[in-house]
Protein backbone atom coordinates (compact mmCIF):
# COMPACT_ATOMS: atom_id res chain seq x y z
CA UNK A 1 0.00 0.00 0.00
CA UNK A 2 1.29 3.46 -0.93
CA UNK A 3 1.43 5.76 2.06
CA UNK A 4 0.15 9.33 1.85
CA UNK A 5 3.03 11.80 1.91
CA UNK A 6 2.75 14.99 3.92
CA UNK A 7 3.55 18.18 2.01
CA UNK A 8 3.74 21.29 4.18
CA UNK A 9 6.12 23.56 2.26
CA UNK A 10 6.79 23.64 -1.51
CA UNK A 11 9.78 25.21 -3.21
CA UNK A 12 8.80 26.50 -6.65
CA UNK A 13 11.76 26.13 -9.00
CA UNK A 14 10.47 28.68 -11.47
CA UNK A 15 9.44 32.31 -11.94
CA UNK A 16 6.73 34.54 -13.43
CA UNK A 17 3.07 33.71 -13.84
CA UNK A 18 3.44 29.95 -13.35
CA UNK A 19 5.15 30.50 -9.98
CA UNK A 20 2.26 32.76 -8.94
CA UNK A 21 -0.20 30.11 -10.14
CA UNK A 22 1.44 27.41 -8.00
CA UNK A 23 1.56 29.69 -4.94
CA UNK A 24 -2.20 30.25 -5.21
CA UNK A 25 -2.92 26.53 -5.52
CA UNK A 26 -0.83 25.76 -2.44
CA UNK A 27 -2.71 28.33 -0.36
CA UNK A 28 -6.07 26.97 -1.49
CA UNK A 29 -5.05 23.46 -0.45
CA UNK A 30 -5.14 24.51 3.17
CA UNK A 31 -2.07 26.47 4.09
CA UNK A 32 0.79 24.77 2.27
CA UNK A 33 3.61 27.29 2.62
CA UNK A 34 5.58 28.34 -0.45
CA UNK A 35 9.22 29.17 -1.15
CA UNK A 36 10.10 31.36 -4.13
CA UNK A 37 13.51 31.61 -5.74
CA UNK A 38 14.73 34.60 -7.71
CA UNK A 39 17.68 35.88 -9.70
CA UNK A 40 19.10 39.40 -9.59
CA UNK A 41 16.71 40.35 -12.40
CA UNK A 42 13.65 39.13 -10.48
CA UNK A 43 14.08 40.80 -7.09
CA UNK A 44 10.84 42.74 -7.57
CA UNK A 45 8.94 39.98 -9.36
CA UNK A 46 5.37 39.19 -8.40
CA UNK A 47 6.10 35.59 -7.39
CA UNK A 48 8.70 36.87 -4.91
CA UNK A 49 6.11 39.16 -3.34
CA UNK A 50 3.41 36.48 -3.15
CA UNK A 51 5.42 33.59 -1.67
CA UNK A 52 5.77 33.02 2.07
CA UNK A 53 9.55 33.00 1.72
CA UNK A 54 11.95 34.00 -1.06
CA UNK A 55 15.62 33.14 -1.63
CA UNK A 56 18.16 34.68 -3.99
CA UNK A 57 19.79 32.07 -6.25
CA UNK A 58 22.18 33.99 -8.50
CA UNK A 59 22.73 36.31 -11.47
CA UNK A 60 20.13 36.82 -14.22
CA UNK A 61 21.56 34.20 -16.60
CA UNK A 62 19.39 31.06 -16.24
CA UNK A 63 22.41 28.73 -16.12
CA UNK A 64 23.58 30.54 -12.99
CA UNK A 65 20.19 30.73 -11.31
CA UNK A 66 17.03 28.90 -12.41
CA UNK A 67 19.04 26.07 -14.04
CA UNK A 68 21.49 25.73 -11.14
CA UNK A 69 20.45 22.36 -9.68
CA UNK A 70 22.86 22.28 -6.68
CA UNK A 71 21.80 25.79 -5.70
CA UNK A 72 18.08 24.94 -5.89
CA UNK A 73 18.54 21.80 -3.79
CA UNK A 74 20.57 23.75 -1.22
CA UNK A 75 17.82 26.39 -0.94
CA UNK A 76 15.14 23.72 -0.63
CA UNK A 77 16.97 22.15 2.31
CA UNK A 78 17.80 25.46 3.94
CA UNK A 79 14.21 26.69 3.74
CA UNK A 80 12.79 23.49 5.19
CA UNK A 81 10.76 22.69 2.07
CA UNK A 82 9.62 19.10 1.81
CA UNK A 83 8.58 19.20 -1.88
CA UNK A 84 9.59 20.84 -5.16
CA UNK A 85 7.31 21.93 -8.01
CA UNK A 86 9.19 22.69 -11.25
CA UNK A 87 6.44 24.56 -13.12
CA UNK A 88 7.13 24.45 -16.86
CA UNK A 89 10.24 25.32 -18.83
CA UNK A 90 13.64 25.55 -17.12
CA UNK A 91 14.24 22.22 -15.31
CA UNK A 92 10.71 20.83 -15.49
CA UNK A 93 11.64 18.12 -18.01
CA UNK A 94 15.16 17.39 -16.81
CA UNK A 95 15.38 13.91 -15.37
CA UNK A 96 18.56 14.78 -13.48
CA UNK A 97 16.74 17.51 -11.55
CA UNK A 98 13.88 15.20 -10.60
CA UNK A 99 16.42 12.61 -9.49
CA UNK A 100 18.38 15.18 -7.45
CA UNK A 101 15.19 16.28 -5.67
CA UNK A 102 14.26 12.70 -4.79
CA UNK A 103 17.80 11.81 -3.68
CA UNK A 104 17.72 14.85 -1.38
CA UNK A 105 14.77 13.30 0.44
CA UNK A 106 12.22 15.73 -1.03
CA UNK A 107 8.92 15.02 -2.79
CA UNK A 108 9.04 15.65 -6.53
CA UNK A 109 5.74 17.03 -7.81
CA UNK A 110 5.88 15.47 -11.26
CA UNK A 111 6.49 12.19 -13.08
CA UNK A 112 9.36 9.84 -12.31
CA UNK A 113 12.85 10.64 -13.61
CA UNK A 114 12.63 7.46 -15.69
CA UNK A 115 9.44 8.61 -17.45
CA UNK A 116 10.92 12.06 -18.06
CA UNK A 117 14.07 10.52 -19.57
CA UNK A 118 12.16 8.13 -21.82
CA UNK A 119 9.82 10.78 -23.20
CA UNK A 120 12.53 13.45 -23.33
CA UNK A 121 14.46 11.43 -25.92
CA UNK A 122 12.24 11.94 -28.97
CA UNK A 123 13.72 8.98 -30.82
CA UNK A 124 13.27 6.61 -27.88
CA UNK A 125 9.74 7.97 -27.40
CA UNK A 126 8.86 7.17 -31.02
CA UNK A 127 10.02 3.58 -30.55
CA UNK A 128 8.07 3.25 -27.30
CA UNK A 129 4.91 4.62 -28.87
CA UNK A 130 5.20 2.36 -31.90
CA UNK A 131 5.57 -0.64 -29.58
CA UNK A 132 2.50 0.53 -27.61
CA UNK A 133 0.39 0.70 -30.77
CA UNK A 134 0.23 4.51 -30.86
CA UNK A 135 0.43 5.83 -34.46
CA UNK A 136 3.65 7.72 -35.20
CA UNK A 137 4.62 10.04 -38.05
CA UNK A 138 6.77 8.24 -40.68
CA UNK A 139 10.40 9.00 -39.91
CA UNK A 140 13.88 7.67 -39.31
CA UNK A 141 15.20 5.25 -36.69
CA UNK A 142 17.74 6.49 -34.12
CA UNK A 143 21.49 6.72 -34.55
CA UNK A 144 21.79 7.53 -38.25
CA UNK A 145 24.59 9.70 -39.62
CA UNK A 146 23.95 12.45 -42.15
CA UNK A 147 24.64 10.17 -45.10
CA UNK A 148 22.08 7.64 -43.90
CA UNK A 149 19.60 10.43 -43.17
CA UNK A 150 19.92 11.60 -46.78
CA UNK A 151 19.12 8.07 -47.99
CA UNK A 152 16.14 7.83 -45.63
CA UNK A 153 14.87 11.23 -46.72
CA UNK A 154 14.50 9.93 -50.26
CA UNK A 155 12.56 6.95 -48.93
CA UNK A 156 10.23 9.02 -46.72
CA UNK A 157 9.71 11.71 -49.33
CA UNK A 158 9.63 15.49 -49.18
CA UNK A 159 8.60 17.77 -47.56
CA UNK A 160 9.98 16.65 -44.21
CA UNK A 161 11.19 17.94 -40.87
CA UNK A 162 14.64 17.81 -39.33
CA UNK A 163 14.08 17.60 -35.56
CA UNK A 164 16.32 17.60 -32.49
CA UNK A 165 16.15 14.31 -30.61
CA UNK A 166 16.64 15.87 -27.17
CA UNK A 167 14.54 19.01 -27.23
CA UNK A 168 11.38 20.89 -28.05
CA UNK A 169 10.00 24.40 -28.41
CA UNK A 170 11.04 24.58 -32.06
CA UNK A 171 14.79 24.40 -31.29
CA UNK A 172 16.84 22.32 -33.71
CA UNK A 173 13.89 22.07 -36.09
CA UNK A 174 14.00 22.75 -39.83
CA UNK A 175 11.51 22.33 -42.68
CA UNK A 176 13.01 20.80 -45.83
CA UNK A 177 11.03 21.02 -49.07
CA UNK A 178 13.48 19.24 -51.37
CA UNK A 179 16.79 17.39 -51.36
CA UNK A 180 18.83 20.49 -52.21
CA UNK A 181 17.98 22.00 -48.81
CA UNK A 182 18.70 18.94 -46.67
CA UNK A 183 22.47 19.22 -46.15
CA UNK A 184 22.37 22.80 -44.87
CA UNK A 185 19.25 22.08 -42.78
CA UNK A 186 21.00 19.15 -41.07
CA UNK A 187 24.08 21.24 -40.32
CA UNK A 188 22.14 24.16 -38.82
CA UNK A 189 19.83 21.84 -36.84
CA UNK A 190 22.85 20.00 -35.39
CA UNK A 191 24.40 23.30 -34.27
CA UNK A 192 21.21 24.69 -32.74
CA UNK A 193 20.37 21.43 -30.95
CA UNK A 194 23.86 21.21 -29.50
CA UNK A 195 23.70 24.79 -28.27
CA UNK A 196 20.19 24.48 -26.80
CA UNK A 197 20.26 20.97 -25.33
CA UNK A 198 23.88 19.85 -25.27
CA UNK A 199 22.98 17.10 -27.74
CA UNK A 200 23.20 17.64 -31.49
CA UNK A 201 21.42 14.42 -32.48
CA UNK A 202 18.65 14.94 -35.03
CA UNK A 203 16.19 12.75 -36.91
CA UNK A 204 13.71 13.09 -39.78
CA UNK A 205 9.92 13.09 -39.81
CA UNK A 206 7.48 13.40 -42.67
CA UNK A 207 6.00 16.91 -42.76
CA UNK A 208 2.22 16.73 -42.53
CA UNK A 209 1.23 19.91 -44.32
CA UNK A 210 -2.07 21.40 -43.27
CA UNK A 211 -2.17 19.32 -40.08
CA UNK A 212 -3.69 20.39 -36.79
CA UNK A 213 -1.88 20.24 -33.45
CA UNK A 214 -4.17 18.63 -30.87
CA UNK A 215 -3.09 17.48 -27.43
CA UNK A 216 -4.68 15.46 -24.63
CA UNK A 217 -4.31 16.20 -20.93
CA UNK A 218 -3.42 13.17 -18.81
CA UNK A 219 -3.69 12.57 -15.06
CA UNK A 220 -2.34 9.39 -13.49
CA UNK A 221 -1.98 8.34 -9.86
CA UNK A 222 0.50 6.05 -8.10
CA UNK A 223 -2.02 3.22 -8.04
CA UNK A 224 -2.09 2.51 -11.77
CA UNK A 225 -5.14 4.65 -12.63
CA UNK A 226 -4.86 6.88 -15.71
CA UNK A 227 -7.48 9.19 -17.25
CA UNK A 228 -7.56 11.92 -19.87
CA UNK A 229 -9.35 15.23 -19.45
CA UNK A 230 -10.03 15.90 -23.09
CA UNK A 231 -8.21 17.74 -25.79
CA UNK A 232 -6.82 21.19 -26.47
CA UNK A 233 -6.50 22.70 -29.94
CA UNK A 234 -3.04 24.28 -30.29
CA UNK A 235 -2.74 24.89 -34.04
CA UNK A 236 -2.38 28.69 -33.90
CA UNK A 237 1.41 28.83 -33.87
CA UNK A 238 4.27 30.88 -35.18
CA UNK A 239 7.62 29.18 -35.76
CA UNK A 240 6.37 26.18 -33.77
CA UNK A 241 5.53 28.38 -30.77
CA UNK A 242 1.90 28.28 -29.63
CA UNK A 243 0.05 31.58 -29.45
CA UNK A 244 -3.59 30.64 -28.89
CA UNK A 245 -5.28 27.50 -27.54
CA UNK A 246 -8.85 26.39 -27.04
CA UNK A 247 -10.71 23.48 -25.49
CA UNK A 248 -12.33 21.47 -26.83
CA UNK A 249 -11.19 21.47 -30.46
CA UNK A 250 -13.62 22.68 -33.14
CA UNK A 251 -12.16 19.98 -35.42
CA UNK A 252 -12.98 17.06 -33.13
CA UNK A 253 -15.82 14.55 -33.36
CA UNK A 254 -16.80 11.94 -30.74
CA UNK A 255 -15.19 8.99 -32.55
CA UNK A 256 -11.88 10.79 -33.09
CA UNK A 257 -11.89 11.96 -29.47
CA UNK A 258 -12.41 8.44 -28.20
CA UNK A 259 -9.61 7.01 -30.36
CA UNK A 260 -7.13 9.77 -29.57
CA UNK A 261 -7.97 9.68 -25.86
CA UNK A 262 -7.33 5.93 -25.79
CA UNK A 263 -4.01 6.44 -27.59
CA UNK A 264 -3.00 9.15 -25.09
CA UNK A 265 -3.72 6.85 -22.15
CA UNK A 266 -1.78 4.03 -23.86
CA UNK A 267 1.17 6.39 -24.33
CA UNK A 268 1.17 7.33 -20.63
CA UNK A 269 0.89 3.73 -19.50
CA UNK A 270 3.78 2.71 -21.76
CA UNK A 271 6.15 4.63 -19.47
CA UNK A 272 4.30 3.98 -16.18
CA UNK A 273 3.42 7.66 -16.06
CA UNK A 274 2.37 9.34 -12.80
CA UNK A 275 1.12 12.93 -12.29
CA UNK A 276 0.00 15.43 -14.94
CA UNK A 277 1.25 15.22 -18.51
CA UNK A 278 0.24 15.99 -22.06
CA UNK A 279 0.32 13.77 -25.13
CA UNK A 280 0.57 15.80 -28.33
CA UNK A 281 -0.64 14.67 -31.77
CA UNK A 282 -0.67 15.90 -35.33
CA UNK A 283 -3.99 15.31 -37.11
CA UNK A 284 -4.30 15.54 -40.89
CA UNK A 285 -7.29 16.79 -42.86
CA UNK A 286 -8.65 13.23 -43.09
CA UNK A 287 -8.55 12.90 -39.29
CA UNK A 288 -5.63 10.50 -39.23
CA UNK A 289 -3.63 11.23 -36.09
CA UNK A 290 0.02 10.66 -35.22
CA UNK A 291 2.00 10.89 -31.96
CA UNK A 292 4.16 14.01 -31.83
CA UNK A 293 5.60 14.04 -28.31
CA UNK A 294 4.73 13.81 -24.63
CA UNK A 295 5.33 16.78 -22.37
CA UNK A 296 6.16 15.41 -18.94
CA UNK A 297 5.04 18.51 -17.06
CA UNK A 298 2.28 21.04 -16.67
CA UNK A 299 1.52 22.88 -19.92
CA UNK A 300 1.33 26.64 -20.42
CA UNK A 301 -2.19 26.14 -21.80
CA UNK A 302 -3.51 24.09 -18.87
CA UNK A 303 -6.09 26.76 -17.84
CA UNK A 304 -8.41 26.01 -20.77
CA UNK A 305 -8.73 22.42 -19.57
CA UNK A 306 -9.34 23.62 -16.03
CA UNK A 307 -12.16 25.89 -17.14
CA UNK A 308 -14.04 23.26 -19.15
CA UNK A 309 -13.59 20.41 -16.65
CA UNK A 310 -13.62 22.16 -13.27
CA UNK A 311 -10.41 20.30 -12.35
CA UNK A 312 -7.57 22.33 -10.81
CA UNK A 313 -4.57 20.65 -12.42
CA UNK A 314 -1.96 22.18 -10.11
CA UNK A 315 -3.84 21.02 -7.03
CA UNK A 316 -4.15 17.57 -8.57
CA UNK A 317 -0.42 17.47 -9.19
CA UNK A 318 0.19 18.09 -5.49
CA UNK A 319 -2.48 15.62 -4.40
CA UNK A 320 -1.03 12.91 -6.65
CA UNK A 321 2.45 13.57 -5.24
CA UNK A 322 0.93 13.02 -1.79
CA UNK A 323 -0.19 9.57 -2.86
CA UNK A 324 -3.89 10.06 -3.53
CA UNK A 325 -5.88 7.35 -5.29
CA UNK A 326 -8.12 8.12 -8.20
CA UNK A 327 -11.80 7.67 -7.47
CA UNK A 328 -14.15 5.49 -9.56
CA UNK A 329 -14.01 7.81 -12.55
CA UNK A 330 -13.84 6.81 -16.21
CA UNK A 331 -13.84 10.27 -17.72
CA UNK A 332 -14.64 13.91 -17.29
CA UNK A 333 -17.66 15.88 -18.44
CA UNK A 334 -16.87 18.88 -20.59
CA UNK A 335 -18.83 22.04 -19.76
CA UNK A 336 -18.74 24.87 -22.27
CA UNK A 337 -15.73 26.19 -24.16
CA UNK A 338 -12.49 27.95 -23.17
CA UNK A 339 -9.89 29.98 -25.08
CA UNK A 340 -6.43 31.26 -24.15
CA UNK A 341 -4.26 34.00 -25.62
CA UNK A 342 -0.58 34.11 -24.70
CA UNK A 343 0.32 37.73 -24.10
CA UNK A 344 3.97 38.23 -25.01
CA UNK A 345 6.37 41.17 -24.86
CA UNK A 346 7.01 41.35 -28.61
CA UNK A 347 6.14 43.62 -31.50
CA UNK A 348 3.74 41.97 -33.97
CA UNK A 349 4.30 44.87 -36.41
CA UNK A 350 8.06 44.24 -36.47
CA UNK A 351 8.36 40.49 -37.06
CA UNK A 352 7.52 39.81 -33.39
CA UNK A 353 10.77 41.34 -32.20
CA UNK A 354 11.09 40.89 -28.40
CA UNK A 355 10.41 44.03 -26.36
CA UNK A 356 11.89 45.03 -23.01
CA UNK A 357 11.22 47.89 -20.64
CA UNK A 358 9.16 48.93 -17.64
CA UNK A 359 5.41 48.35 -17.56
CA UNK A 360 3.99 51.81 -16.92
CA UNK A 361 0.29 50.89 -17.09
CA UNK A 362 -1.34 47.51 -16.46
CA UNK A 363 -5.14 47.44 -16.63
CA UNK A 364 -6.40 43.86 -16.35
CA UNK A 365 -9.67 42.80 -17.98
CA UNK A 366 -12.38 41.46 -15.68
CA UNK A 367 -16.01 40.45 -15.86
CA UNK A 368 -17.93 37.20 -16.41
CA UNK A 369 -15.93 34.31 -17.79
CA UNK A 370 -12.54 36.10 -17.77
CA UNK A 371 -9.37 34.80 -16.10
CA UNK A 372 -5.91 36.36 -16.20
CA UNK A 373 -2.80 34.42 -15.14
CA UNK A 374 -0.13 37.12 -14.94
CA UNK A 375 3.29 37.79 -13.50
CA UNK A 376 3.40 41.54 -14.16
CA UNK A 377 2.15 44.79 -12.64
CA UNK A 378 2.57 48.52 -13.23
CA UNK A 379 6.22 49.25 -12.46
CA UNK A 380 7.43 45.75 -13.35
CA UNK A 381 10.65 45.63 -15.39
CA UNK A 382 10.67 43.22 -18.36
CA UNK A 383 14.27 42.09 -18.97
CA UNK A 384 15.89 40.28 -21.91
CA UNK A 385 16.94 37.26 -19.88
CA UNK A 386 13.81 35.11 -19.95
CA UNK A 387 10.86 34.01 -22.05
CA UNK A 388 8.80 36.87 -23.46
CA UNK A 389 5.44 35.69 -22.10
CA UNK A 390 3.91 38.21 -19.71
CA UNK A 391 0.49 36.73 -19.04
CA UNK A 392 -2.20 34.36 -20.22
CA UNK A 393 -5.69 35.70 -20.93
CA UNK A 394 -8.35 32.99 -20.69
CA UNK A 395 -12.09 33.17 -21.28
CA UNK A 396 -14.94 30.67 -20.82
CA UNK A 397 -18.39 30.54 -22.36
CA UNK A 398 -21.29 28.16 -22.70
CA UNK A 399 -20.40 27.88 -26.40
CA UNK A 400 -17.37 28.55 -28.56
CA UNK A 401 -19.05 31.67 -29.85
CA UNK A 402 -19.55 33.06 -26.37
CA UNK A 403 -15.98 32.23 -25.33
CA UNK A 404 -14.57 34.03 -28.38
CA UNK A 405 -16.83 37.04 -27.98
CA UNK A 406 -15.68 37.32 -24.37
CA UNK A 407 -12.09 37.09 -25.55
CA UNK A 408 -12.68 39.93 -28.02
CA UNK A 409 -14.12 42.02 -25.23
CA UNK A 410 -11.31 41.13 -22.79
CA UNK A 411 -8.61 41.94 -25.36
CA UNK A 412 -10.17 45.36 -25.91
CA UNK A 413 -10.10 46.02 -22.15
CA UNK A 414 -6.53 44.82 -21.56
CA UNK A 415 -4.05 47.72 -21.42
CA UNK A 416 -0.29 47.24 -21.12
CA UNK A 417 1.88 50.31 -21.69
CA UNK A 418 5.62 50.89 -21.54
CA UNK A 419 6.60 48.20 -24.02
CA UNK A 420 5.29 46.42 -27.11
CA UNK A 421 2.98 43.41 -26.74
CA UNK A 422 1.25 41.02 -29.13
CA UNK A 423 -2.24 42.14 -28.08
CA UNK A 424 -2.87 43.55 -31.60
CA UNK A 425 -2.05 40.15 -33.11
CA UNK A 426 -4.70 38.45 -30.99
CA UNK A 427 -7.25 41.13 -31.89
CA UNK A 428 -6.55 40.50 -35.57
CA UNK A 429 -6.88 36.75 -35.00
CA UNK A 430 -10.27 37.24 -33.34
CA UNK A 431 -11.38 39.30 -36.37
CA UNK A 432 -10.50 36.52 -38.83
CA UNK A 433 -13.55 34.94 -40.42
CA UNK A 434 -11.61 31.74 -41.14
CA UNK A 435 -10.53 31.47 -37.54
CA UNK A 436 -14.02 32.16 -36.19
CA UNK A 437 -15.36 29.41 -38.42
CA UNK A 438 -12.72 26.96 -37.11
CA UNK A 439 -10.95 26.74 -40.49
CA UNK A 440 -7.31 26.78 -39.45
CA UNK A 441 -4.23 24.57 -39.02
CA UNK A 442 -0.60 24.91 -37.92
CA UNK A 443 0.27 26.97 -41.01
CA UNK A 444 -2.54 29.47 -40.52
CA UNK A 445 -0.50 32.32 -39.02
CA UNK A 446 2.23 32.29 -41.67
CA UNK A 447 0.12 31.45 -44.71
CA UNK A 448 -3.23 33.10 -44.02
CA UNK A 449 -3.29 35.63 -41.21
CA UNK A 450 -0.13 37.48 -42.19
CA UNK A 451 -0.35 37.14 -45.98
CA UNK A 452 -3.87 38.28 -46.79
CA UNK A 453 -6.38 40.73 -45.39
CA UNK A 454 -8.62 38.30 -43.57
CA UNK A 455 -9.80 40.77 -40.93
CA UNK A 456 -13.35 42.05 -40.87
CA UNK A 457 -11.87 45.43 -40.03
CA UNK A 458 -14.43 46.05 -37.30
CA UNK A 459 -17.47 45.02 -39.34
CA UNK A 460 -19.19 43.62 -36.30
CA UNK A 461 -22.36 42.63 -38.14
CA UNK A 462 -20.43 40.07 -40.17
CA UNK A 463 -18.60 38.81 -37.10
CA UNK A 464 -21.88 38.55 -35.19
CA UNK A 465 -23.41 36.48 -37.99
CA UNK A 466 -20.47 34.08 -37.94
CA UNK A 467 -20.55 33.80 -34.17
CA UNK A 468 -24.31 33.17 -34.27
CA UNK A 469 -23.62 30.26 -36.62
CA UNK A 470 -20.95 29.00 -34.21
CA UNK A 471 -23.38 29.22 -31.30
CA UNK A 472 -26.04 27.23 -33.16
CA UNK A 473 -23.49 24.63 -34.20
CA UNK A 474 -22.16 24.32 -30.65
CA UNK A 475 -25.62 23.85 -29.21
CA UNK A 476 -26.12 20.97 -31.61
CA UNK A 477 -22.75 19.54 -30.65
CA UNK A 478 -23.19 19.61 -26.88
CA UNK A 479 -23.17 15.82 -27.04
CA UNK A 480 -19.40 15.96 -27.55
CA UNK A 481 -18.91 14.97 -23.94
CA UNK A 482 -16.89 12.24 -22.40
CA UNK A 483 -18.34 9.41 -20.36
CA UNK A 484 -21.03 11.13 -18.32
CA UNK A 485 -20.49 11.58 -14.61
CA UNK A 486 -22.87 12.70 -11.90
CA UNK A 487 -23.44 16.45 -12.14
CA UNK A 488 -20.44 17.85 -10.25
CA UNK A 489 -17.69 20.36 -10.75
CA UNK A 490 -15.10 19.14 -8.30
CA UNK A 491 -12.00 17.02 -8.64
CA UNK A 492 -12.37 13.36 -9.72
CA UNK A 493 -10.03 12.25 -6.94
CA UNK A 494 -10.41 11.05 -3.35
CA UNK A 495 -8.15 10.31 -0.42
CA UNK A 496 -7.09 6.71 0.05
CA UNK A 497 -6.53 7.42 3.74
CA UNK A 498 -8.01 9.99 6.04
CA UNK A 499 -6.18 13.29 6.30
pLDDT tens digits along 13-33:
999 999 999 999 999 998 899
β-strand partners of 371: 394
Q: What angle do CA 11, 16, 20 make, to 5 degrees?
A: 60
- Which SS3 state, helix, strand or coil, does residue 377 take? coil
Which pTM value belongs to this model?
A: 0.84
Q: What angle do CA 265, 269, 272 make, to 5 degrees?
A: 145
**Is the domain of 199 the same as that of 310?**
no
Give the residue from 39, 72, 93 where a domain finishes. 93
Q: What angle do CA 37, 42, 45 make, to 5 degrees?
A: 90
- Measured from the Cβ of residue 297, the count of other Cβ atoms closer than 10 Å reads 23
Residue 201 is part of a domain; what is its CATH number? 3.30.1490.20
Domain-embedded: residue 127: no
CA atoms within 13 A on the CB side of 108: 30
Q: What is the pLDDT of residue 165?
A: 83
Domain-embedded: residue 48: yes
The residue from 297, 319, 342, 400 that is catalytic is 297
**Is the domain of 345 the same as that of 237?**
yes
Give the residue from 172, 206, 240 where a domain finishes. 206
> E strands along 370-465, which residues?
370-374, 381-382, 389-397, 415-417
**Is the domain of 299 the same as that of 444?**
yes
Q: What is the pLDDT of residue 122?
A: 80
Interatomic CA distance for residues 139 and 161, integer angstroms: 9
How far is C-alpha 340 from the chain's CA centre?
11
**Is the domain of 282 the same as that of 410?**
yes
Q: What is the pLDDT of residue 464?
A: 54
Domain-embedded: residue 481: no
**Is the domain of 69 the same as that of 21?**
yes
**Is the domain of 177 the same as that of 143?**
yes
Q: What is the pLDDT of residue 65?
A: 97
Clarify whether 297 is annotated catalytic. Answer: yes
Please list, in sequence order, all residues whose beta carbon lies within 8 angstroms of the beta carbon of residue 350, skipping any fewer than 6 positions away: 420
Domain-embedded: residue 186: yes
Residue 77 is part of a domain; what is its CATH number? 3.40.50.20
**Is the domain of 193 the same as that of 227?**
no
Give the residue from 182, 206, 230 where a domain finishes. 206
Q: What is the pLDDT of residue 494?
A: 27
Residue 259 is part of a domain; what is its CATH number? 3.30.470.20
Contact 292, 137 (CB under 8 A): yes
For the chain, residues with pLDDT lower than 50 are 451-458, 479-499
**Is the domain of 317 the same as that of 221?**
yes
**Is the domain of 216 the same as that of 184?**
no
Q: What is the pLDDT of residue 328?
A: 52
Q: What is the pLDDT of residue 14?
A: 98
**Is the domain of 283 the same as that of 164?**
no
213-271 tens-digit pLDDT:
999 999 999 999 999 999 999 999 998 899 999 999 999 999 999 999 999 999 999 99
Domain-embedded: residue 221: yes
**Is the domain of 294 the same as that of 147?**
no
Q: What angle do CA 317, 290, 183 make, to 5 degrees?
A: 110
**Is the domain of 254 the same as that of 392?**
yes
SS3 content of the chain, % helix, strand, coil (to 5): 35, 25, 40
Structural domain count, the chain = 3
Domain-embedded: residue 69: yes
Q: What is the pLDDT of residue 454?
A: 40
β-strand partners of 237: 242
Domain-embedded: residue 107: no
Range of the domain at 32: 9-93
Torsion of CA 392, 397, 401, 406, to 10 degrees: -50
Domain-embedded: residue 112: no
Q: What is the pLDDT of residue 331?
A: 61
Amino acid sequence: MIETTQIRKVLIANRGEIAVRIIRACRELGGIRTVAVYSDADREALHVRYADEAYHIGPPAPRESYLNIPRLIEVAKRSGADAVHPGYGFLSERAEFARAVIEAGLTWIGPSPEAIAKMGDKLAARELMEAAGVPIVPGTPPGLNDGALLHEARRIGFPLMVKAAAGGGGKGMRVVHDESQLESALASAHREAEAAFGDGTVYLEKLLEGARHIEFQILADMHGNTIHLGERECSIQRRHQKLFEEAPSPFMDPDLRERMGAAAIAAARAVNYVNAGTVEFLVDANKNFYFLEMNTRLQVEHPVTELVTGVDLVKEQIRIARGRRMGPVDGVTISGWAAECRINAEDPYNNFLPSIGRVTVHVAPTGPGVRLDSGIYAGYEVTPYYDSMLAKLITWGETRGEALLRMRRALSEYKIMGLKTNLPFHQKLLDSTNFLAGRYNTQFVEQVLNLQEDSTGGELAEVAAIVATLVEHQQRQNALQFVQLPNRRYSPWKWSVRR
